[in-house]
Amino acid sequence: MNTPLDTTLAHLPGTPCYLNGQYGPVRDAKVSVLDRGFIFGDGVYEVLPVYGGKIFRFVQHMARLQRSLAELRIINPLASAEWLAIARRLIQSQIDGGGSVNQLVYIQITRGVAVRDHVMPSGLTPTVFVMVSDMKLPTPAMREQGVACVTADDFRWEKAHIKSTSLLGAVFSRQISADAGALETVMFRDGMLSEGAASNVWVVKNGQLMGPPNDHLVLEGIRFSLLEDICRERGIPFELRRITRAEVLDADELLLSSATKEVLPITQLDGVPVGTGQPGPVYASLYAGYQQAKTTQSI
């Protein structure tokens, strides 16, 4: 059962992590094969962006983590102050080890270890895992030229609002775009826009920013409320509603948002230019507002 470390784990990063109260290199972290996260994907995760060593929108990320845990009937094992302390210790350790001041903090909580049974057992101790990695932001060329995406039907389950570790549907969806040499897959459910494999998708028409409603069919990105705030500050009309595929294909601008992409223009969809085929004015305004928010909403 034992395999030499140099043949299986040596290629993994030595970046710092936290696992069930212990700190150490991520390559040395281990969990039971009977952990329900491993067996069933029975857990949730959250990703916190870090700029200049400070966590962006920490309170909003903690609120979404709590919502996901509640959906799975898992009690949050730590208070917000404890999560913050763990994240800050790992961030500083990464910086001290020569890492970037711009990072991602990945949090994962599973129901815990139990004999395999589909029914949710009670009384388990959740498995708590946190790691950090340097953040890879979009390149200047991607911002100047925009990115290409493809479309696909949304074949995932109907609880997309849970940030679940059960991500095989997202893996398949993202592979569609990877196989096509595109950055992301824009998905539709019954002819209506849902989201990307790892992004929220936004439509701009006649100067208005529109996105799908916050319901069980999409994951509410932390940027939902952020972009709404930026729109309010900059006089950009904002609306959440059902958006048809025809409206997406007729958009003046299409945008992606996520922790790593921030806000990013789609300038080609299924090989066809979006609008003028160049990043548009609404994107430029939102991106500028986003950069300002990073300086005021990080702790």
| 164 within 8 A of 222, measured Cβ to Cβ | no
Q: Are strands 16-19 and 127-134 parallel, antiparallel or unpaired?
A: antiparallel
What 8-state DSSP symbol labels residue 104?
E
d(CA 199, CA 255) in angstroms, rounded, equals 10
Alpha helices, H only, the chain: 5-8, 36-40, 58-71, 80-96, 140-145, 168-179, 223-234, 245-249, 281-296
Helices 80-96/58-71 angle, 10° precision? 120
**What distance in Å separates the CA atoms of residue 32 and residue 39, rounded to the nearest whole number?**
10
Number of residues that make up the chain: 299
- Both tokens of 191, joined, read 């002819």
**Sign of the torsion angle spanned by Cα atoms 29, 31, 33, 38:** negative
**Which member of 54, 163, 261, 294 is catalytic?**
163
DSSP-assigned states of every residue in 25-91: EGGG----TTBHHHHH--EEEEEEEEETTEEBTHHHHHHHHHHHHHHTT---SS-HHHHHHHHHHHH
Cβ atoms within 10 Å of 234's Cβ, excluding its own: 12
3-state SS class at 292? helix
Q: Is 163 a catalytic residue?
A: yes
201 φ/ψ angles, rounded to the nearest 5 degrees:
-120, 135
| Helix, coil or strand: residue 236 | coil
User: Which residues participate in catalysis according to the annotation?
Assistant: 163
